[in-house]
Amino acid sequence: MTTLAASSPITTTALTGAFRARVEHVLARLKDWQILRQCRRRGHAINHSLHIIAGLWHLKTDT
């Protein structure tokens, strides 16, 4: 058993869960940016795509 502080023991399951949550969040962000990368628009249309992606990201982080 590992401890961060003297009063709060951390189990292996808790450490694994915290690590897994971070990995899941990183993968979700990569999937969001894949939308932008795959966008093949010209001119100001890319600006519209950025606004849409930013709006979706903020909507996802607010909930």
Q: Which two tokens stand for residue 23?
A: 């990995």
Integer Cα distance of 8 and 4 in angstroms:
7
DSSP 44: T
pLDDT at 32: 73
pLDDT of residue 5: 53
**Per-residue pLDDT for the chain (63 aa), expressed as one digit of tens each?**
454 555 557 788 888 888 888 888 888 887 777 766 666 656 667 777 778 878 887 777 665
Distances (CA, A) of 6 to 2, 10, 34: 10, 10, 43
| pLDDT recorded at residue 1 | 46
Whole-number pLDDT of residue 42? 63
Tokens encoding 18 = 């915290």
The rounded radius of gyration (Å) of the Cα atoms in the chain is 19
* Amino acid at the residue 7: S
